[in-house]
A and B are shown apart, each in its own frame.
Chain A
């Protein structure tokens, strides 16, 4: 990917429920903010890529198409790849620019899951209706099984999950868009209700609504810009059982993220990621899920994961993990992946406010979806390359 940059970012605040806002209003707020950040009017955007998934969470199919800001007479596309939807929308937007289809493309993700009577019942329907739905498989129980596998294989402990969660909440205090902006101590995390062993309430993400938009452009203005240096995107088998004992890598080794990161680094010319990357925004809705990403991104070995996790607790760590707090303080499912990219762009552009990390010349965002079946890695840099 060359010659494509992020020139604008816009977000709404994330809340359990935006009762006072329609879907169209949420999208408009994010889209106008992104356009303004890019120095544009919305009418100057050439094309739009929308993302919502799954539709069933808000009770309206294709809910973003009712948005009144959508332009008549311009290309509008719609992506749905589960949790990676926001990242896939971004990927398609960059493809449109790279193919010379458009100069300015706006990728926008919307989440209205607060409208769902029970989101876990909806998430249960993503699984196989014959073999899996009846065993109450959900995103939560799926994450719990992986967390226990990580503990058994690599030596992670309950302390790791709690301290990583507390770090994310601490970082989120500086994030003006986060849903949870109060410090939650390690002890509070441990004392929170057990949802599915070993995951406690504060080690899981909240239900969140909101919208995020990003403008990509092939002719960025002078000044600090977030260049899209590499994107990798890979899909795995559907059945998680197929990923548990295969030669290429187990369920918790996140083979697809390994491949995605490898491709993104290769495109970016980044051959020493741990030394060059300053910011990592992980799409990990559970603190334990972060552990799968560390080695997949090449930041440590699998066996060295627990020590790396402990190192991320240091505010002066070379690689800053989730300076925004990540998805734990806000997880608007359809758009969380795009938020990770947006936060990385803000860091590289030095527009991250109180979350700003010094010398953030390189950043990587991850996107996960479909019970970790879909993975993306997006590398951004201040230099065009």
Chain B
């Protein structure tokens, strides 16, 4: 079976850029991914998109935007899932021999939608919605349990959040602005919340050998109801990671860098523990150094593009190092109910 490789990715973070339509944003990023990868447009034979209805103010998001991502008269599919699943889909297409050059593109334009209302609409209209539940409030529940169970989280959160803010400020790709902050649901604090912005990311998955190979991927699912979940252990992420490593025939200890999707600082820290990057109860102590050194949630956030951003960042960092094994993940609705993990390998 053919192996799947990653070409150079393109990423743009912005906020409410009135000079460009959503199609303009998508086109420019997809174009840059092609140019920087040295791939002629004609060689693209399929497109996998990730976008949620409503986040960009439309009820069938890919209609208006799919052609801008290169799908005109091509095989195209749109996932309404985190974009890490789109990378996995592209990988499967390549490995099955259905495609040789597959554009993966994800976007989210929070400046055109009402994130709070969209998030609320994910929950059961009778039992959960009247409580005002959002994905962020599920993260707050998770943080609450973490603070109760792991004393080290309380002591390390302030320094970790400061470090995250510093990393984000130093990144030249930081957007000019973000969405107005929402009140932090307790026990979360403002500095631990995602800095919501407009994001477009594009990446080509190829059958042609490059220096970064998709060595494996895994996906898994948790129950819908937050009350049925293990909020600390993130079992879907743990299971997806185990599947990804198993399919790559690699051991957890071989992973040398992590790019993990988390909505808040606490989600990031718990994700690091779930994949084996930190000891039980110690995720907060090392989260800012061990994963997402661009600042993670603090640089810019908008579902469902984040999994692709993490994959793109993992590939970029692997290339900088010249070798190694990376683990990237993307968490999807509802409040990280489904997870995708990818193992990337850079071969010198």
Residues of A within 8 A of B (CB): 1, 47, 52-56, 59-62, 65-68, 70-82, 88, 91-92, 95-96, 98-101, 122-123, 125-129, 232-238, 255-256, 259, 370-371, 373-374
Q: Are B57 and A129 in contact (CB under 8 A)?
A: yes
Q: Are A71 and B221 in contact (CB under 8 A)?
A: yes
Q: Which chain A residue lies CB-closest to B89?
A: A92
Once A55-B53, A91-B77 are accepted as A-B contacts, the answer to whether A74 and B92 lie under 8 Å apart by CB is: no
Query: CA separation between A323 and B58, bound complex, in Å?
Result: 36
Segment of B27-35, B68-76, B150-158 in the binding face: B68-76
> Which residues of chain B have C-beta atoms less than 8 A from A127's C-beta?
63
Query: CA separation between A125 and B95, bound complex, in Å?
Result: 37
Confirm or deny: B16 has a beta carbon within 8 angstroms of a beta carbon on chain A.
Answer: no
Q: Which of B54, B63, B75, B219 contacts A370 (CB 8 A)?
A: B63
Once A54-B59, A61-B122, A370-B62 are accepted as A-B contacts, the answer to whether A99 and B96 lie under 8 Å apart by CB is: yes
Query: CA separation between A127 and B95, bound complex, in Å?
Result: 35
Q: Which chain A residue lies CB-closest to B98?
A: A95
Confirm or deny: B281 has a beta carbon within 8 angstroms of a beta carbon on chain A.
Answer: no
Q: Are B1 and A99 in contact (CB under 8 A)?
A: yes
B residues contacting the other copy or chain, number (CB 8 A): 57
Q: Are A82 and B63 in contact (CB under 8 A)?
A: yes
Q: Which chain A residue lies CB-closest to B76?
A: A235
Residues of B within 8 A of A (CB): 1, 47, 52-54, 57-67, 71-81, 85, 89, 91-93, 95-98, 118, 121-122, 124-125, 218-224, 235-236, 239, 243, 332-334, 337-338
Q: Are A53 and B60 in contact (CB under 8 A)?
A: yes
Q: Are A77 and B85 in contact (CB under 8 A)?
A: yes
Q: Are B221 and A62 in contact (CB under 8 A)?
A: no
Query: CA separation between A238 and B63, bound complex, in Å?
Result: 6
Q: Are A72 and B223 in contact (CB under 8 A)?
A: yes
Query: CA separation between A255 and B122, bound complex, in Å?
Result: 36
B308 to chain A, nearest CB (A): 15
Q: Are B1 and A61 in contact (CB under 8 A)?
A: no
Q: Are A78 and B79 in contact (CB under 8 A)?
A: yes
Q: Are B222 and A62 in contact (CB under 8 A)?
A: no
Query: CA separation between A82 and B58, bound complex, in Å?
Result: 12
Could you pull out 16 A-B pairs where Cβ atoms are within 8 angstroms? A53-B80, A60-B121, A61-B122, A67-B224, A72-B236, A77-B89, A78-B81, A95-B96, A96-B92, A98-B96, A99-B95, A123-B59, A126-B63, A129-B58, A233-B75, A374-B76
B339 to chain A, nearest CB (A): 10
Query: CA separation between A238 and B54, bound complex, in Å?
Result: 18
B159 to chain A, nearest CB (A): 35
Query: CA separation between A234 and B95, bound complex, in Å?
Result: 20
> Which residues of chain B have C-beta atoms less than 8 A from A370's C-beta?
60, 62-63
A115 to chain B, nearest CB (A): 9
Q: Are B98 and A98 in contact (CB under 8 A)?
A: yes
Q: Which chain A residue lies CB-closest to B129?
A: A60
Query: CA separation between A82 and B77, bound complex, in Å?
Result: 10
> Which residues of chain B have C-beta atoms less than 8 A from A259's C-beta?
73
Query: CA separation between A126 and B47, bound complex, in Å?
Result: 20
Query: CA separation between A55 and B51, bound complex, in Å?
Result: 12
Q: Are B53 and A54 in contact (CB under 8 A)?
A: yes
Once A54-B53, A61-B333, A66-B334 are accepted as A-B contacts, the answer to whether A235 and B59 lie under 8 Å apart by CB is: no
Q: Are A74 and B334 in contact (CB under 8 A)?
A: no
Q: Which chain A residue lies CB-closest to B21?
A: A130
> Which residues of chain B have C-beta atoms less than 8 A from A68's C-beta?
224
Query: CA separation between A37 and B277, bound complex, in Å?
Result: 43
Q: Which chain B residue lies CB-closest to A80?
A: B80
> Which residues of chain B have C-beta atoms less than 8 A from A91's C-beta?
77
Q: Which of A66, A75, A99, A256 contacts B219 (CB 8 A)?
A: A75
Q: Are A80 and B66 in contact (CB under 8 A)?
A: no
Q: Are A235 and B67 in contact (CB under 8 A)?
A: yes
B48 to chain A, nearest CB (A): 9
